[in-house]
Structure 1
Amino acid sequence: MKYALNILLLILTFVSCKNENEKIVTEQTKPNKIVLISVNAPNKFIHLIKQDSVGKKLKDSLGPKAFSNNNGFAYLDYMNNVQTWRPKPNVSDTITIETHNDYLELSTNNFFTSIKETFLVKNGDTIIFNYEHNIPKAKITNREVSDIELNYNSYRLKKLFDNKYTSYYLIFGNMFLNENIEDYEWKSIDYYNQAKLDFTKEVKLLDSLKNNNLISQTNYLYRKDALNMLMEKHKNLKNIKKWLEQKKSFRNKEAIEQVFGFDLSETDSLMKFSFFRNYLNNISQYNLNFIEENNGSSGGFYIDSRIRFDSILKDKRFNQTAKNFLLFDAYNGIGQNFRVKDKEEYFKKLQESTTSIEQLDKLKKDYKLDFNKSNELVLTSLKNDSLTYRNLLENNKGKWLYIDFWASWCAPCRKTMPESNKLKKELKEKNIEFIYLSLNDKNENWKKAVEVNGILSSQNYFIENGNVSKVIEDLGIKTIPHYLIYSPNGELVNGFANRPGQGAKEQLNKLITEK
């Protein structure tokens, strides 16, 4: 018996060694990469809001429009940082992504749905993306996979919604389709109830696809989780949440909505999925009230991301992987809506709290977060000469100054440029200098726009530190375009001047006459 036991142990040891050797070989030969090839990606296209069907030909250009840029494919890299690949438009473009997981999710926005267009691919795959009506369609070249499974989003859009706006999209999107904005909230609730019916239909569709081996068990569970998360997102919309609370108050059993969530102990394995990252964002809003901002012709709503940032730090539900993701998201809210002192304070907190050094460096580089020169506004000329805003004002003393804060990406800014050129010609005898300062722009785009807009002969400067300059705050510049008027002695006489073609000429003439 002892002999037999020794033989068994020897066999088990041999098998174990063999398995370990096989594991080593497998790990060494694992590709650890995914290759993406994009063919003729769109650059920018116009979507007519009332066009509610994929591929429908536009008869005219009337009605509200959305200008959609190539938003690319978002994915989680091997360092748990969200990256976006934007393929070059109108050509063939390739990227190789390093990965150490069995699966990688690629996601992009689809105008007709509230759910992202997602593709679940395997380690070692090569995927070619072609575009139909500006929507990507994937094909895997190295293995056989069901087209329904790979391009499920396009399949569901056709099968369940006849390639038209989904009920999920219309919960929010109906405000763009109806002239009476007051009906928006009630229509949203109607579309929410329709979405619940469509949810049930889609679950049955997924069950059928799995039972007929048209999608794998992995993809089946992945699609169901994404769908559940979509419904949870809609339940948390302000007006729908309020309506659901009212229903619950009647103690109607049918009114009790099932709550969907994830096991946060599985965060590390779930982070690669965009619906899970959305879930983390949703549960880290902490029911904060919206701050309303009105800047005359523009404004917005946002939560206090400083409170959110501090709450995420203290929240014991989140491990370090979740905090790395959420703290950067909260900091983006601080960077967009709060003062330089807050940006500096919370950037220091972010440095102390994150283990994602690569993402921290990228944030600092992308937003030029150098707080050492916050008391100055640093400018660069077309000839790459550097100076400060203070230097600029001193250099132009003795002249009236009409200063235009703009950017190449700002459509209203560029729309006024012909009127600005016209105004400059009309006032050329009035000792007025027109100065254009590009704010939160890309240098190469700025240079091209200066030439295209015909303002090359004027003074043009690129603002290097707009995100961290207290000068921008002191001048009250929250949105662009923004115009300032200085007198010849360097005094700011109008911090919110009229736009060219909208009263600027009369305003300038009056000031010059009075002075």
Structure 2
Amino acid sequence: MNIRLTSTLLLFIIFGCKNDYNKKVIERHPEQIVLISKYAPQRYKFFISQDSLGSIPIDTTGAYTYIQRPTFEYYDSQNSINKWIPKTNKLDTLVIPYYQEYLELSSRNGFASLPHTFLIKNGDTIVFTYKDKIPHLEFANRPTKDLEANYNSYRLKTLFNNKYTSHYKVSFGFILDKNEDFEATTTKYYQEAVKDNERELELLDSLYKTKIISDTDYKYRITALNQLMESYKSNKAIQKWLNINNEFNNEESMPTDFGFDLSKADSLMKFHSFRKYLYRISQYDLKYITENNGNSGGSYIDSRIRFDSIIADGRFNQSVKNFLLFNAYEGIAMDFKVKDKEEYFKKLQQNTTNRNQLEKLRKKHNLDFNYADILQLSSIENKKTTYSELLEKNKGKWLYIDFWASWCAPCRQIMPESRKLKKELENKGVEFIYLSLNDKKKNWKTAIIKDSIGNAQHYFIENGNASKVIEDLGIETIPHYLIYNTKGELINGYANRPGKGAKEQLEQSINN
């Protein structure tokens, strides 16, 4: 079954289905949407080998990943991406002022490449409960069919038996299939995804013909599937496999070309699948830059080139450029130096009309380049200082400085060794200083308590994204360790980790 649908089909989102259960009707409120969350689950461990949604782990010693607490994303009336993270184990409510006919909520699904998406009409009041810790939606003000409202959960159970989908495994199957390389697992699960896509299209046909789902939802779901299948074309391993295997080179079985009508971008921006499409076509087939920073590294495209290309791209109107330029700048903020961040932030100011989002970005990354030559710090008591003042204050002591963050697993795992090292050197005049980089203050303070490292000097770095000091110190990844002598001179900019040679380095430096 080959269906090609354009984005115009997404404009027919009107719910009109009836169901057979009784609900107390809540008064509709014009120009606002009310979201109610009932006892959202906390983040929890999912043990990878026991691959089934809602299962209780039998063995808690194997490899695991964290399933994050539910987070809902939506495109608001101010043309900005917003996130709502409901309070855990409590009732929580969000009222969204809204001025269009309907809104799409999306929530990441850890088992599938497609997010859980929910279509909400303006004036709706909806309630989220959590079945197997997955959001389950009910409309409190009007009737609708449960399957239609929660189609993503239905497809996961019906087509994939509540296990990882083939679509998910296209990108992450190499984690599950440890004996195969990335390219082998990618192409293997792509073939499965093609078959599963056909099965899902047949399922949607059946649901539509029997009037279990509406015309609107049918078209909406197929559009999301087409976008997902089209996204595989940008995968190099899949491109190579398709070129080699002639069986996929005939018109019937080749993936069908799929695109959106960009002239309707303003009305389509609310849809997750459209935003993913924009992200994909704005990569411009840029080659990946690969880094190897000792124990870690990464790959990323040159977001500076992408940023400039988006500005020059005549296909995009201002709404699309607003969205994509902020997205590209996040890549610049993550991967490039302060001079690039400053240059492209000025370009962003000149090329966006979304001033609200600009201010949010400035606050998120503390992008005040007037203080680029200073590293601003805050103590646990919120007393302000700078890195140079900290060094001056501690002159006369040997300093072992640990750059870390609460979200950094290697940083946290080595803290017991750090406590041990501190105790072993307590009579050697060594001061342990912990500086939290690119962190959140609440999480930072909690981690200090959990890791029992409070008996030391702790500071939160306020402007890590906009300070040249971090670059001058050569800090590209964390954890990162420095050793200063009693004169306040940096004598080792790449010191060993606790338990991995740090003690020997410190003792040798002190004794020389």
TM-score, normalised via structure 1 length: 0.91
* Structure 2 residue matching 1:430: 3-state secondary structure: coil
Contact 1:486 1:492 in 2 (8 A): yes
Aligned letter for 1:500?
A: P
The answer for the alignment partner of 2:45 in structure 1 is: 46
Stretch moving more, 332-341 or 216-225: 216-225
Distance in 2 (CA, whole Å) between partners of 1:54 and 1:250 is 33
Contact 1:36 1:126 in 2 (8 A): yes
Mark the CA change 1:403 to 1:317 in structure 2 (over 3 Å): closer, same or farther.
same
Cα deviations by residue, 1:165-197 (Å, 9 ceiling, x for unpaired) = 111111122111112242x32232122122112
Stretch moving more, 306-315 or 373-382: 373-382
Cα deviations by residue, 1:141-170 (Å, 9 ceiling, x for unpaired) = 111101111000011111111212111111
Contact 1:78 1:99 in 2 (8 A): yes
The answer for the alignment partner of 1:221 in structure 2 is: 219
Aligned letter for 2:129?
A: N
Q: CA deviation at 1:249?
A: 12
Cα deviations by residue, 1:222-265 (Å, 9 ceiling, x for unpaired) = 11110000101122212102222344799755564321111101
**Of 417, 420, 423, the match for 1:419:** 417
Cα deviations by residue, 1:332-373 (Å, 9 ceiling, x for unpaired) = 000000000000000000000001111000000111110000
Contact 2:242 2:248 in 1 (8 A): no
2:119 pairs with 1:120? yes
The answer for the alignment partner of 1:132 in structure 2 is: 131
- Structure 1 unpaired stretches of 5+: 1-28
**1:306-385 alignment runs, 5 A limit:** 306-385=304-383
Aligned letter for 1:213?
A: K
Distance in 1 (CA, whole Å) between partners of 2:461 and 2:248 is 57
Distance in 1 (CA, whole Å) between partners of 2:190 and 2:249 is 20
* Structure 2 residue matching 1:50: 3-state secondary structure: coil
Q: Percent identity among equivalent residues?
A: 57
Mark the CA change 1:140 to 1:250 in structure 2 (over 3 Å): closer, same or farther.
closer
The answer for the alignment partner of 2:168 in structure 1 is: 169
Contact 1:374 1:469 in 2 (8 A): yes
2:397 pairs with 1:399? yes
**1:46-445 alignment runs, 5 A limit:** 46-182=45-181, 184-247=182-245, 252-253=250-251, 256-445=254-443
Distance in 2 (CA, whole Å) between partners of 1:293 and 1:249 is 37
Distance in 1 (CA, whole Å) between partners of 2:373 and 2:497 is 28
Distance in 2 (CA, whole Å) between partners of 1:217 and 1:250 is 31
Mark the CA change 1:448 to 1:250 in structure 2 (over 3 Å): closer, same or farther.
closer
Distance in 2 (CA, whole Å) between partners of 1:110 and 1:135 is 8
Question: Taking CA–CA contacts closer than 8 Å with sequence separation of 6 or more, which of the two structures ends up with the larger relative contact order?
Answer: 2
Aligned letter for 2:74?
A: Y
Distance in 2 (CA, whole Å) between partners of 1:216 and 1:234 is 28
Contact 2:126 2:139 in 1 (8 A): yes
Cα deviations by residue, 1:9-44 (Å, 9 ceiling, x for unpaired) = xxxxxxxxxxxxxxxxxxxx9711111111111121
Q: CA deviation at 1:391?
A: 1.1
RMSD of equivalent CA atoms: 1.7
Aligned letter for 1:159?
A: T
Aligned letter for 2:409?
A: A
- Structure 2 unpaired stretches of 5+: 1-27
Cα deviations by residue, 1:405-434 (Å, 9 ceiling, x for unpaired) = 111222222222222121111111111111
**Structure holding more helix per residue:** 1
Distance in 2 (CA, whole Å) between partners of 1:436 and 1:404 is 5
Aligned letter for 2:162?
A: N
Contact 1:247 1:255 in 2 (8 A): no
Q: CA deviation at 1:508?
A: 0.9
Mark the CA change 1:248 to 1:302 in structure 2 (over 3 Å): closer, same or farther.
farther
Aligned letter for 1:383?
A: E
Distance in 1 (CA, whole Å) between partners of 2:254 and 2:163 is 30
* Structure 2 residue matching 1:433: 3-state secondary structure: strand
State the structure with more CA Rg. Answer: 1
Equivalent residues, number: 485
Mark the CA change 1:206 to 1:33 in structure 2 (over 3 Å): closer, same or farther.
same
The answer for the alignment partner of 1:15 in structure 2 is: none
